[in-house]
């Protein structure tokens, strides 16, 4: 597996995790509002 593919994949994982974390935080703040 080329290094560029690994970097792209890890960046995608980080992005997805960041988006999920944002949504969870938003849901929590809405629930506890």
- Each of the 33 residues of the chain gets a pLDDT tens digit; together they read 799 999 999 999 999 999 999 999 999 888 876
- Kindly state the tokens that stand for 16: 């997805």
Q: What is the pLDDT of residue 14?
A: 98
pTM: 0.63
- Kindly state the tokens that stand for 19: 């988006």
The torsion of the CA quartet 6, 10, 11, 12, rounded to 10 degrees, works out to: 100
In Å, what is the CA distance from 31 to each residue of 8, 9, 21, 28?
Answer: 34, 33, 15, 5
Q: What is the pLDDT of residue 32?
A: 78
């Amino acid at each position: 597996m080329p290094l560029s593919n690994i970097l792209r994949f890890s960046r995608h994982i980080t992005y997805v995790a960041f988006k999920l974390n944002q949504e969870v935080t938003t849901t929590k703040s809405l629930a506890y509002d």
